[in-house]
Amino acid sequence: MSAAIQIAGVSKDFPVGDRSVRVLHDITIDLRAGELNFLVGESGSGKTTLISIVAGILFPTEGSVRIFGTDLYSLSDTQLVKFRLKNIGFIFQQYNLIPTLTSAENAGVPLIAAGMRRDKATQRGRAVLDRLNIADQADKLPRQLSGGQQQRVAIARALVHEPRLVVCDEPTAALDAGSGRKVMDLLREVALAPDRAVIIVTHDNRVFDLADRIVGMEDGRITHDGTQMPDDSHGIGRDDTDDGGIRASSETGRKRSAAAAPAPAPISAKATT
């Protein structure tokens, strides 16, 4: 099977003053569907820049990105926006919920952006919230929700249009260890499917053992690619928590076998409406 995500020769320069600084250096990697792919590395290593390029929201200076065969940066601007709306779900670290919309309305936003009528989109949003076990929060505003509930709404919004690529930026950073693992289990349950790719950026070594694949970055380059962290990964996933964080090691960093995992149940709002 060909790779779901093909990143080829991607470099990125940012202008700084009157010169430009290269922050990604010739990155080439393929990612498969049906796996939880973690992208890890110290602050400033280039993770957010890379996933922004993969998600079609930041142009690379050089190189190409193919998402299920579509060459993102050969599309026109209009085609790229349409492709993104249809195929990509992004879970932001700060959730980015719209404060004046209810949970169900927030969850339906990608469908409205893609042209669906608001009432229908909200109904679909409500169905996904139900799937994520927060149907009882559907008519509340973000400020009436706990952090964990807001995050579930953000996850619902990223999945409501059944995207083929789901990208999550630090989904567990603000959560305690137990809640962080629950979010990862939830992502595994609802976002994984044989035809869906998931990329999770994380510093959080407490959840490294839940990855199927870990790609490590340092100074804008890929320095590790495996099913667990290398034993000498001092900087990556530094544990600066005091709540019993687990260091990834050969003992704890075991891969959850895709073969042994239960069959993924991809979320389908359509099926429940």
Ligand X SMILES: Nc1ncnc2c1ncn2[C@@H]1O[C@H](COP(=O)(O)OP(=O)(O)OP(=O)(O)O)[C@@H](O)[C@H]1O
Beta-bridge partners for 67: 5, 70
Please check whether residue 24 is in contact with residue 52, taking contact to mean a CB–CB distance below 8 angstroms. no
First to last CA, the chain: 32
Q: How far is the CB of 25 from ligand X (least distance, A)?
A: 11
Q: How far is the CB of 66 from ligand X (least distance, A)?
A: 21
Nearer Cβ to ligand X (14/59): 14
Q: How far is the CB of 59 from ligand X (least distance, A)?
A: 12
Q: How far is the CB of 184 from ligand X (least distance, A)?
A: 18
115: left (phi over 0), alpha (psi -120 to 50) or beta: left
Number of H helices, E strands in the chain: 7, 10
Task: Give the whole-angstrom CA distance, residue 157 versus residue 111.
Answer: 9
Nearer Cβ to ligand X (43/78): 43
Please check whether residue 164 is in contact with residue 196, taking contact to mean a CB–CB distance below 8 angstroms. yes
Closest by Cα among 169, 185, 165 to 177: 185
Nearer Cβ to ligand X (33/201): 201
Q: How far is the CB of 24 from ligand X (least distance, A)?
A: 8
Side by side, which strands form the sheet with 62-67?
A: 19-31, 5-16, 62-67, 70-71
Nearer Cβ to ligand X (143/234): 234
Q: How far is the CB of 41 from ligand X (least distance, A)?
A: 5
Nearer Cβ to ligand X (48/268): 48
Nearer Cβ to ligand X (48/96): 48
Percentages (nearest 5) of helix, strand, coil residues in the chain? 35, 25, 40
Pairing of strands 5-16, 70-71: unpaired
Q: How far is the CB of 211 from ligand X (least distance, A)?
A: 17
Provide the binding-site residues for ligand X, judged by CB under 6 A.
14, 16, 23, 41, 43-49
Please check whether residue 72 is in contact with residue 108, taking contact to mean a CB–CB distance below 8 angstroms. no
Task: Give the whole-angstrom CA distance, residue 128 versus residue 269.
Answer: 5
Nearer Cβ to ligand X (48/249): 48
